[in-house]
Structure 1
Amino acid sequence: MRSRGPTSILFRRRVAVITGAVVIGIVAVLFAKASDEMGELFAHFAARWRWVPLVTTPLGFMALVWVTRRWVPLARGSGIPQVMAARDDPAGAVKGLISVRTVVAKVLLTMGAVLCGASVGREGPTVQLAAAVMNLSHRMTRVALRGTVVIAGGAAGVAAAFNTPLAGVLFAIEELAAAYEQRMTLMVLSSIVIAGMVAQTLAGDYVYFGSVGAYLPIASAMIVVPVAGIAGGLAGGLFSRGVLALATGGSALTRWSKANPVLFAGGCGVVVAALGVATGLTWGTGYGAAQAMITGADAPLWFGPAKFLATLATAVAGLPGGIFAPSLAVGAGVGNLLRELFPGDQAQAVVILGMVAYFTGVVRAPLTAVIILAETTASRGLMLPMFAAAFLADGASKMVCREKLYHGLSRTFMTR
């Protein structure tokens, strides 16, 4: 007969999930603050010695890739593909994909990438870190880790990283749990919300990009939405295709990059450094530039294409680091280009539609994209146009890249 009370498996499982969710909220905020500090340090460095990053950034890329491949190969890349691979074999993942060694290295190396000026974000690594926290909480309570809890941990990381609990829930269902059991218990969903609330309590009740409240009349939306959705989706699909081609393809460049990973990383670092020195805007996450464009500030038309190239070069280099925040910045650049086509419409709304479309084109999770942008800009009045743009972008992206980016990348971790 099964025991009840504090010694029962059900009680210990609840304690593990709730404790893990609270800790996820705490570590996500700490990681965010540390990453922001690294970004500010690099910004001061690049402003004082403008040309020096042409040397330090490529060397930093090479060093980070060498350390990653030599000591913690499972820490490379975003972190979301690792969690997707871990959900199918949680017992094996606790020794590799979401082990303490892997995630500690992931955090440190991601901050190192930010300090080098790489076009990376912390959101993807936060997902892997959050899944590892769930692993630890279950080990401490002596409860077996299940695939659904790995998913919940990862999604709680999204909620905490963006201060958007609802986006975490949708990401769990739409992306992390795709092609997997879609039933999520109340306790698992609660962990996502708890992590988001803890992060909000610690970081304050803030809106990620600021309260914009963008709006677009229906007549204007019927013209802007199709253009934004298709353009952003095609651009996002092109990015995904490029990343997957170098990760899983069989071209001569792919073979050379795998045979000479450190040299290839150095070459990617040269691209990132050249763009950063030439423009002064493509370093890091691109948060500042994206926020400025969302609020209606004028930005150079070349920002979107330049940030696209910097993010692509960083993503294929093999560094630990995510693409969520840089993709939102590229999307803002896409929206900035679209402003020229629709000068009579609200600039903020056009930029946000470009962000939703491009982000959807990259991650192929339209519901998540809409909720993230709605919550991070407080533009809930724009949700219907955003949904339309997101679903158009999803279809356009499929025309360029049939396989989902994170699903394709997750296969590179399943053979380990």
Structure 2
Amino acid sequence: MRELLSARRLRSVKVISVRWQRRTVFLLGGIVVGAAAVALAILADKAQLAFAILLSKSRYASLLVTPLGFALSVFLTNRYFPNSQGSGIPQAIAARHLTDQAARGKLVSIRIAMGKMLLTLLGLLCGASVGREGPTVQVGASIMFAIGHMSPRRQPGLILAGAAAGVAAAFNTPLAGIVFGIEEMSRAFETRTSGLIIAAVIAAGLTSLALVGNYDYFGSSSTMLRNGLDWLAVPLCGVAGGLAGGAFSRLVIEVARGFPGRLGRLIKRQPIAVAMACGLGVALCGLSSGDMTYGTGYAQVKTALENGTLLPWDFGLLKLAATALSAVSGIPGGIFAPSLAVGAGIGANVAHLLSGAPLSAIMLLGMVSYFAGVVQAPITAFVIVTEMTDNHAMVVPLMAAALIAHATSGLICPEGIYHALAKGFLRTSTDRPAAK
């Protein structure tokens, strides 16, 4: 009898030990992801400031610095940090669908995380129209995957948890991090690991709060639609943002898949020359916009939202062009923040059509519409914009605009950009994709 009780106690201790081991891995990973996200955010601001100081000396310095910076970034990416190009979200999605750990390690690893951070900063330092939030997703997935190796037991859901924690810490939007993990990363709710994923998101969010304090990404906004005429902005922004977002995604996907014939072979053989050409295009967009389209676009949009001032009529178009050139160039960098900036420009243009309508509210509609059109994740789109502006009065119109944009985008681009690009990484992998 004593031996039976002893065996039961031993089994109970083992079960409890395994459970706490799993919790520790997810919590520790969330803390490290949060710290990495804050570090990248601070350094990204400094990189953009350094480029702004350069432009204050000579606006035309970008014609030299930006193309050379793009060329250097692509060279370092291809030579030392393969699979770190672009936003990094497609790599994290692809890694979740791989069963072989070695194949996963080629898409998410500490080496890639370090390269991703350094090369994203290089892009911002030379004026690329990229964001830090997408890269934070790949960094978060890489950190969690690496920490998982410390456990003798396999820990499912680590990559998903790292990605969700990365979004939560990058934007200071914990709810959006969870929604992003469900809607975009997994396209399903994993009951086995949902609690641990939420714990990782909370740990990352608390770490961010401890290091930089509580803040709203685009400030706090109480703007709202007032009368019936204002509500015309919902379908207008939804259709305009959806069409523009779908066109952007279609372009990036087609370039990633490769053009047929001689042009496609030339682009593949000359990646550095292509990067320099894209960098020159970004510099020309910046000069045409009065230096407004470089970097994330965060400062320009936040100022416009807080002050209720119109963005230039060509801001959205030039920012879209600069972001598209940055995305197809092959340099590491995300499209989250630049997409929100493009959407703000679209919203400002729609506001011109509705005399007396609240500008800030319509800019928010443009932001959520274009973002939903690009990523085709409407729930994530309106949740993230709502959390970033602390504006709950706009929840219903933002939801409606996101759904309209999602449907409109699908007419041009049948599949979301991240999942379409993830298929490319899966095809080049040595492992077959398997659903989890």
Q: Quickly name the TM-score band, shorter chain normalised.
A: over 0.9
Runs of 4+ in 1 over 4 A off after TM superposition: 179-184
Moved more, 174-183 or 127-136: 174-183
2:217 to 208, 217, 221: 208
Q: Quick one: structure 1 residues 198 and 394, their matched pair in 2 at CA, closer, same or farther if it must change by over 3 Å?
A: same
For the residues of structure 1 that align with 2:86 and 2:13, how far apart are their CA atoms?
43
How far apart are 1:293 and its partner, in Å? Answer: 2.4
- Equivalent pair of 1:243/1:315 in contact (CA under 8 Å): yes
Cα deviation code 1:85-144 (max 9, x no counterpart) = 111126235521111111111111111111010001100110011111112222223332
Report 1:164-203 matches (<5 A): 164-178=173-187, 184-203=193-212
In structure 1, the residue matched to 2:240 is 231
Q: Quick one: structure 1 residues 402 and 226, their matched pair in 2 at CA, closer, same or farther if it must change by over 3 Å?
A: same
- Equivalent pair of 2:230/2:357 in contact (CA under 8 Å): no
In structure 2, the residue matched to 1:108 is 118
How far apart are 1:356 and its partner, in Å? Answer: 0.4
- Equivalent pair of 1:165/1:197 in contact (CA under 8 Å): no
Moved more, 199-208 or 120-129: 199-208
1:319 to 321, 331, 334: 331
For the residues of structure 1 that align with 2:72 and 2:158, how far apart are their CA atoms?
34
User: What TM-score, normalized to structure 2?
Assistant: 0.91
Q: Helix, strand or coil: the match of 1:250?
A: coil
How far apart are 1:67 and its partner, in Å? Answer: 1.3
1:243 to 242, 248, 252: 252
Cα deviation code 1:267-326 (max 9, x no counterpart) = 101100111123211110111111122231122100000000000000000001101011
Gapped regions of structure 1 (runs ≥ 5): none
In structure 1, the residue matched to 2:365 is 353
The yes-or-no answer on 1:290 pairing with 2:294 is no
The yes-or-no answer on 1:134 pairing with 2:161 is no
Moved more, 255-264 or 20-29: 255-264
Q: Helix, strand or coil: the match of 1:340?
A: helix
Cα deviation code 1:336-389 (max 9, x no counterpart) = 111101122111100100000000000111111111111111111000000000
For the residues of structure 1 that align with 2:189 and 2:98, how far apart are their CA atoms?
12
2:413 to 376, 395, 401: 401
- Equivalent pair of 2:279/2:326 in contact (CA under 8 Å): yes
Q: Helix, strand or coil: the match of 1:212?
A: coil
User: What TM-score, normalized to structure 1?
Assistant: 0.96
Moved more, 239-248 or 199-208: 199-208
1:333 to 335, 339, 345: 345
Percent identity of paired positions between Structure 1 and Structure 2 = 43
Gapped regions of structure 2 (runs ≥ 5): 1-9, 430-436
- Equivalent pair of 1:22/1:195 in contact (CA under 8 Å): yes
Structure 1 letter corresponding to 2:294: W
Moved more, 395-404 or 221-230: 221-230
In structure 2, the residue matched to 1:40 is 49
For the residues of structure 2 that align with 1:163 and 1:179, how far apart are their CA atoms?
23
For the residues of structure 2 that align with 1:160 and 1:351, how far apart are their CA atoms?
24
In structure 2, the residue matched to 1:84 is 93
Structure 1 letter corresponding to 2:315: F
In structure 2, the residue matched to 1:386 is 398
In structure 2, the residue matched to 1:73 is 82
How far apart are 1:56 and its partner, in Å? Answer: 1.4
Moved more, 402-411 or 216-225: 216-225
- Equivalent pair of 1:152/1:188 in contact (CA under 8 Å): yes
Moved more, 382-391 or 183-192: 183-192
Structure 2 letter corresponding to 1:326: P
- Equivalent pair of 2:182/2:189 in contact (CA under 8 Å): no
1:120 to 120, 124, 130: 130
How far apart are 1:8 and its partner, in Å? Answer: 3.1
